[in-house]
């Protein structure tokens, strides 16, 4: 892994919300801190992301 890409993985802060879920810092908040968007990491994650089709979610009762 390239050094620039590895550094982008550690750029966003991780927080928890009231419900206890992990929340990753947003791009706007990162810009306010003077950091750039983690474009390389985002591109890599989106390349392997496969959303569940809406039809399949309805059949399993997720949207009911």
Which tens digits make up the pLDDT trace of 8-55? 878 888 889 999 888 888 888 888 988 888 888 888 878 888 877 777
Residue 13 in any domain: the answer is: yes
Give the length of the chain: 64
* Inter-residue contact 12 to 44 (CB < 8 Å): no
**According to the model, what pLDDT value does residue 56 have?**
58
Residue 55 in any domain: the answer is: no
Residue 59 in any domain: the answer is: no
Q: How many domains does the chain have?
A: 1
Domain that holds residue 6: 1-48
Report the b/e string of 33-62 with b at 16+ CB within 10 A.
Answer: eeeeebebbeeeeeeeeeeeeeeeeeeeee
Residue 53 in any domain: the answer is: no
Residue 64 in any domain: the answer is: no
Residue 12 in any domain: the answer is: yes
């Amino acid at each position: 892994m390239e050094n620039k890409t590895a550094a982008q993985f550690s750029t966003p802060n991780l927080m928890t919300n009231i419900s206890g879920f992990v929340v990753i810092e947003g791009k706007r908040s990162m810009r306010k801190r003077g950091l750039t968007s983690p474009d390389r990491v985002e591109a890599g994650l989106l390349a392997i992301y496969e959303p569940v089709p809406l039809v399949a979610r309805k059949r399993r009762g997720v949207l009911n």
